[in-house]
Homo-oligomer: A and B are copies of this chain.
Amino acid sequence: MGSPKSFQTPTGTRDWYPADANRRRFLTEAWRSASLRHAFEEIDGPTFETLDLYTVKSGEGIVSELFSFQRFGGEKTYALRPEFTPTLARLYAAKASSLPKPTRWFTLGPMFRAERPQRGRLREFLQWNCDVLGDPSPQADADIIAVCIGLLEQLGLTPADVRVKLSNRNLVRDIALSCGLPDDKADAWFAYLDGEAKRSAGENEAFLVHRGVSLLVRDRWMQLLESVRNMGSDADQFNVERFGMKLETIEQHRDLLVRLRSMGLLPWCDMLDMTIVRGLAYYTGMVFEVHEASGGERALAGGGRYDKLIELFGGPPTPAVGFGMGDVVLSLVLQDRGLMPSDADLADRAGMRPDAFVISNGTPEADAVLPAVVAALRKAAPGLPGLHARRSAKETRNIGKLLQEATKLNARFAIILESGSSCTVKDLTSGRQELMDIANVVVRLRQFLNRAP
């Protein structure tokens, strides 16, 4: 064994002490319950995949953003998953013929990016994904937006805190074409929009000129944008007259807005944010991002429709729509808004509040039965959940001090062993107490706690 040294948490990763782990549990359980009540089923894949699963979708350029490795003496190259969609596509493609239509899947777990960590962006983070596969209808788009908003609302966020910015790549393309964009410049236009906010005015003009896009297109686009901004959240304002052009994609987007209105979700949404096109080329229709209202943080969530991707992974042609939400920005926003419960509250929710704190009165008879009482309280079997029981690890025999310890731990009951056969059960909330046979204490305490088997 070597000499003692000190070790560091790897850059961009996190340690989870109990209070941190309870916050994590709070988020993952919120994700889980939002998914389940919106009728999504859980799936997952390995933490790493073969590298080619990522290059097929994103090209070789992604390799520098991945943690990739080989087994010692092995030949295959693997990579820690940077996102879940390729795994989802692989799972769907492998069993497509036997899966329900539509298939509604969620997952949550760690993802990895080999980047320089920044505010809101770590090398290891948690991500929640929901996807609807096999349903081309705009209702599937609305369902995906609904589960995302459902989570935000469940955590106490409101439309004043977060905005769901809706867009549609086909609509953006059609409008740009109507503004005079040449047919073959659509990709350049998406790239322009995707980076617009990060470039200076001069850089933006140079970007377009360099790609052979006339600045007149941009000017017409800006005028339209202004008109669209004035619509607010009134779906009736969203019509072909407003745009001064008749496009099928306008009607399709309007259909989505009407559905969201019927679900009561439109107040959360910016009806059309044409700056949102999502960088990834695999999106084929509706896209959206969720941002903190001031715009001061990175996106909380993002997603859209990707109708060609399952085929790319060897599956049948399958319309699909989904989104991902990370834990890092979400935590920042909740903390900023005072919506992250206190450490004490989270500890209780996590199950750390003891049901019973068992104390000996200091006699040898009581000392002798204490381990058996604690064990009997904790005992569990299928159909019989055990109780959370504790004893002091301290040396003191002072009953007052031990009751203080029970109170500090927020225990529901104290059980004071009075002899080898009788005990006082004290409700630490109401202060009421009752003397009883030790032989009855487990059954009685389950009754008090309303946790009979």
Cross-chain contact B381 with A154 (CB below 8 angstroms):
yes
- A11-29 vs B, CB cutoff 8 Å, 1 = contact: the mask equals 0011111100110110000
Question: In the complex, how many residues of chain A place their beta carbon closer than 8 angstroms to a beta carbon of chain B?
Answer: 109
- A225-266 vs B, CB cutoff 8 Å, 1 = contact: the mask equals 000000000000000000000000000000000010011110
Q: What are 24 of the A-B contact pairs (CB < 8 Å)?
A: A5-B56, A5-B313, A7-B56, A7-B90, A9-B45, A10-B46, A14-B46, A15-B45, A15-B46, A17-B43, A17-B91, A21-B42, A21-B43, A21-B44, A22-B42, A24-B44, A37-B387, A39-B354, A42-B350, A47-B47, A47-B80, A71-B114, A156-B381, A339-B382
Partner of A2, one of B56, B135, B308: B56
Does A102 have its Cβ within 8 Å of any Cβ on chain B? yes
Cross-chain contact B21 with A386 (CB below 8 angstroms):
no
Cross-chain contact A382 with B6 (CB below 8 angstroms):
no
Cross-chain contact A63 with B72 (CB below 8 angstroms):
yes
Cross-chain contact B41 with A380 (CB below 8 angstroms):
no
In the complex formed, the residue of B with least CB distance to A351 is B36
A residues near B, CB below 8 A? 1-2, 4-10, 13-18, 21-22, 24-25, 32-34, 36-39, 41-50, 52-53, 56-57, 63-69, 71-74, 76, 78, 80, 90-91, 93-95, 101-102, 105, 110, 112, 114, 124, 135, 142, 146, 150, 153-156, 259, 262-265, 282, 308, 311-314, 339, 350-352, 354-355, 368, 371-372, 374-376, 378-382, 385-390, 393
Known: A4-B313, A64-B72, A69-B69. A262 touches B372 (CB 8 A): yes
Which 10 residue pairs are nearest across A and B when measured between Cβ atoms? Answer: A13-B46, A69-B69, A154-B380, A16-B44, A18-B41, A21-B42, A36-B351, A37-B388, A6-B314, A263-B375
Cross-chain contact B67 with A71 (CB below 8 angstroms):
yes
Distance in angstroms between the alpha carbons of A94 and B78 in the assembled complex:
32
A50: chain B residues at CB < 8 Å are 7-8, 10
Q: How far is the CB of A133 from chain B (nearest CB, A)?
A: 12
Distance in angstroms between the alpha carbons of A34 and B390 in the assembled complex:
13
Distance in angstroms between the alpha carbons of A94 and B393 in the assembled complex:
23
A379: chain B residues at CB < 8 Å are 150, 153
Cross-chain contact B146 with A375 (CB below 8 angstroms):
yes
Cross-chain contact A382 with B156 (CB below 8 angstroms):
yes
Known: A73-B64, A78-B67. A25 touches B2 (CB 8 A): no
In the complex formed, the residue of B with least CB distance to A316 is B4
In the complex formed, the residue of B with least CB distance to A137 is B393
A52: chain B residues at CB < 8 Å are 7
Q: How far is the CB of A63 from chain B (nearest CB, A)?
A: 7
A154: chain B residues at CB < 8 Å are 380-382, 386
Q: Which of A41, A64, A282 has the most CB of B within 10 A?
A: A41
Cross-chain contact A263 with B371 (CB below 8 angstroms):
yes
Distance in angstroms between the alpha carbons of A67 and B70 in the assembled complex:
7
Q: How far is the CB of A452 from chain B (nearest CB, A)?
A: 15
Q: Which of A45, A46, A368, A390 has the most CB of B within 10 A?
A: A46
Partner of A53, one of B7, B48, B352: B7
A385: chain B residues at CB < 8 Å are 33
Cross-chain contact B7 with A389 (CB below 8 angstroms):
no
A66: chain B residues at CB < 8 Å are 72
Cross-chain contact A16 with B33 (CB below 8 angstroms):
no
Please name 4 further chain A to chain B contacts, defined as beta carbons within 8 Å, in addition to the given A1-B308, A9-B46, A154-B386, sorted by A numbering. A7-B49, A7-B93, A67-B69, A259-B371
